[in-house]
Amino acid sequence: MQFELSKPISIGSDHAGYEFKQFIADFLRSEGFVVRDNGTHSKDSVDYPDFAHPVAEQVESGEAAYGILICGSANGVAMTANKHAGIRAAICWNEELASLARAHNDANILCIPARFVSQEIAVQMVKVFQSSPFEGGRHQSRVSKISSC
């Protein structure tokens, strides 16, 4: 299954990911996508859960096609997002991981470590993530076992 790209793409970051968030959101808008920017809106220090929860909630409810979260390491935003039922947030640092996160794990939130990749690589990961379909098949039974609820 591929994402329903007629829906907005939800994005959020902490202060460490602010510049990446702006860069990615501008790229997506230039490609004609609607972007729901959940902040942060400056480089001032903030708490990443305040921005990860709204993105996860929008993906979880179906309001957003998929989500993008950015922080320094991507660990904090991924841990936060993955607390939500139905969310499969994947930390990726190259295109191959972004593709596999979709194809094998049906990831619906891409988590980007701003301190470890370039903005250009981040945009390439977004392109791959949104265009890679979930393969289903043998992977579906594995994905079905992820939820503890």
| Secondary structure of residue 91 in the 3-state scheme | strand
What residue numbers bound the domain in which 94 lies? 9-144
**Stretch among 35-44, 75-84, 122-131, 137-146 having the lowest mean pLDDT:** 137-146
Q: Is the pTM of this model over 0.85?
A: yes
123 falls within a domain: yes
The reported pLDDT for the residue numbered 76 is 98
Q: How many domains does the chain have?
A: 1
Q: Is 2 a member of any domain?
A: no
Q: Which residue has the tokens 């990911």?
A: 17
The pLDDT score that the predictor gives to residue 35 is 98
Q: Can you tell me the distance from the alpha carbon of 145 to that of 9, in angstroms, rounded to the nearest whole number? A: 26
Q: Is 20 inside any structural domain?
A: yes
At 105, which CATH number?
Answer: 3.40.1400.10
Note whether residue 4 is domain-resident: no
Q: What is the pLDDT of residue 134?
A: 83
Sorted by sequence, the CB contacts under 8 Å of residue 51 that are 6+ apart come out as: 12, 13, 14, 38, 39, 40, 69, 77
Residue with tokens 């079905």: 144
Residue 122 lies in a domain: yes
pLDDT digits (tens, 9 = 90+) for 61-73: 999 999 999 999 9
Residue 140 lies inside a defined structural domain of this protein: yes
Please report which residue ranges of the chain form alpha helices under DSSP H: 18-30, 49-61, 75-81, 95-105, 119-131, 138-144
**Catalytic positions, please?**
71, 104
Residue 95: exposure state from Cβ atoms within 10 A (0-12, 13-18, ≥19): middle
> Does 3 fall in a domain?
no
Helix, coil or strand: residue 70? strand
For residue 149, is it within any domain? no
